[in-house]
Amino acid sequence: MTAVNTPPSSSDTVTPSVTVTGTAQHAAWQRRVLPPVEQVRPGLWSVPVPIPHNPLRYTLCYLFPGAGGVVLVDPGWDSPDGRAALTAGLAAAGAGPDDVAGVVITHTHPDHHGLSGWLRETAGAWVAMHPDEAASMPSRLWQGLTLDDDRAFLRTHGVPAGEVDTIAVDPGQVAALLAMAEPDRYLADGELAPIPDRQVRAVLTPGHTPGHLCLHDAEAGVLLTGDHLLPRISPTIGVHTERDGDPLTDYLAALRRMDAYGEVEALPAHEYRFRGVPDRARQLAAHHDHRAAEILAVLDAVPAPTTWQLAERITWSRGWDQLVGVPRRLALAETVAHLYQLRTAGVVTDSTDTPTHWYRA
């Protein structure tokens, strides 16, 4: 199932060849404090909203104030501090929570979509997202799934009996995710977002989630990248249930779409603004190529390994032994995603027994 509170993290970071444009944000990141509220362009504001107990520290919410009210992109995690930070950011832009007309969601992880419900209750704001994102919300994707289903998925991938309960996810324990705000508007690839007096176009970039969107404002020269592209970190691409499909193949295709945005300034959902979108996309693709090569090297060295045996033999920045609980589950999910992508490409094949074993094709 979709990871709970999954930051865009990675097994290892990639040293980016990007030009930092959010210098105040970058300085704040290095000092481990919240960056300032900033007016990035006329009629476009950046507001940091804190994420409790998370190394990413904040989500960058973007505000588009207009005569018909304010449209927000990714309002952030719902907490008292989050509500206060968003309210302060709206005040800097000359507005308040009651002035929010609508919310556009790049994807439905709670550090992006959490405050949408509060804004709907407070201001009657509409909520828009891609149809595939709506279909993948926990309230829909997890429909009918049980803890036993998750245990069976883990056993299929060779998780040892003593580890299964440590990393299994019980849908009954994540009721807050099941209650996240449902959309009342849909935004398809290429469509204009319902932001008055702006030409902000949706760009479908699946992978981190099935219906992840970037948002391109050509006149302003910016691309709101959500978690698809960040300046320093590789977003998590993982498989948590068999319903998740092959997200890494989707992600690599979405990275190739970034060649069209060479001149824009990237406005990501975390860290800081930057330029060099195509280079950063190619760098992330190279990171995944490197990971695939590692997996193939293990396949050449270890006869018919399970997914778990592969995961514990490839490189993790903190070391496999240091990954406990959720981080180990995410590492396994990333390994599954790589294997599924390699299977789609015809490079590897798998057995039909339990646990699954993997081979060179």
**In the structure encoding, which two tokens stand for residue 170, read together?**
């019980």
Return the CA Rg of the chain: 20
The model's pTM: 0.93
pLDDT at res. 137: 84
**Do the Cβ atoms of 313 and 158 come closer than 8 Å?**
no
Peptide bond into 131 cis (omega under 30): no
**In the structure encoding, which two tokens stand for residue 357, read together?**
């074993």
Quote the crossing angle between the two packed helices 326-344 and 277-301, to the nearest 10°: 90
Domains annotated for the chain, with CATH where assigned, are 19-360 (3.60.15.10)
Task: Work out the number of other CB atoms within 10 angstroms of the CB of residue 325.
Answer: 9
Compute the distance between CA of residue 93 and CA of residue 343 in angstroms, rounded to an integer.
Answer: 49
- Residue by residue, pLDDT tens for the chain (361 residues) are 344 444 454 444 445 579 999 999 999 999 999 999 999 999 999 999 999 999 999 999 999 999 899 999 999 999 999 999 999 999 999 999 999 999 999 999 999 999 999 999 999 999 999 999 999 887 777 666 778 888 999 999 999 999 999 998 876 666 667 778 999 999 999 999 999 999 999 999 999 999 999 999 999 999 999 999 999 999 999 999 888 999 999 999 999 999 999 999 999 999 999 999 999 999 999 999 999 999 999 999 999 999 999 999 999 988 999 999 889 999 999 999 999 999 999 999 999 999 999 999 9
Distances (CA, A) of 41 to 38, 217, 220, 251, 340: 9, 11, 7, 29, 41
